[in-house]
Amino acid sequence: VVYLVVFHLSFVMFVWSYWKTIFTSPASPSNEFCLSKADKEQYEKEERPESQQEILRRAAKDLPIYTTTASRAIRYCDRCQLIKPDRCHHCSACDICVLKMDHHCPWVNNCVGFSNYKFFLLFLMYSLLYCLFVAATVLQYFIKFWTNELPDTHAKFHVLFLFFVAAMFFISILSLFSYHCWLVGKNRSTIETFRAPTFRNGPDKNGFSLGCSKNLREVFGDEKKYWLLPIFTSLGDGCNFPTRLVIMDPEQLTVSSQNEPAKSSGANQPFPTRPLSESQNRLLASDSQWVESGPEEENVKSGSLHRNTSDDS
């Protein structure tokens, strides 16, 4: 009876998570990131990249954008004709910009991003449990097969095939699930692992990391009772993300003994200075600053932490 309950429960959760991962539409940037009609016409008329960037900087001055391209340019999608929020990327398969895009998964024929990343993780977890359950229940018959204790019937081939398929899928899914658990703990996407987001002080692969506990809550939400259910509970709107990155004045970066906050860099500063208020994100309400242990975070311990709102590219 216990086996049947576990089997049906894992199968139902597996199918539910898989369904939600497939049929949840990827979230796209809101209209505030689209250029106005006048700016769009002016942008298309300009031929010099410098002039186009000036138009984009002017349009993005009130947007919660904290990352740029590697060449320090405003991230703009010519295909969708919008300024990309932080952690947002254009998917060539879906032909849309996807908020906090992780990757396009051919197994679910959908983009994995802000809107369905939790569902994707649960799909991997329940797939893992389902394969483990199948392999464990067939193991005793598999052992009997090798010891010649299994009756000579056609079931021999079925037992052998079922055990190896379940074991192979378990090993492959385990590696993928472990990798994404590591990504959640670091608050990174797969894209950010291969190409770190560029902030004012340069690329920082841990720029959006708030500490393991808060990183987990950002994906699964505050209510732990909903963590194992494939219902959307992620914090934020996909366009705005807090960051622990300290934006320091370039001269202050060379002085390790000072603990002063960042200063403004001038009118040409492409990064908005508007911080994310506590009322906008619950993750900011409990602590005055983010702390993440490890040698990678030593570069942020010398300043007060700056909170932002954004997605990546």
Q: Are 77 and 289 in contact (CB under 8 A)?
A: no
Please give the Cα distance from 65 to 76 (Å, whole number): 12
Backbone angles phi, psi at 195, to 5 degrees: -140, 100
Of 77, 91, 94, 105, which residue is the catalytic one? 105
Chain center to CA of 187 = 7
The answer to whether residue 105 is catalytic is yes
Please give the Cα distance from 228 to 225 (Å, whole number): 7
Element holding 5 (H helix, E strand) = helix 2-23
Q: How far apart are the first and last CA of the chain?
A: 49
Render 223-247 in DSSP notation, one character per residue. Answer: -GGGTTSSS---SS-SS--------
Q: What residues are labeled active site?
A: 105
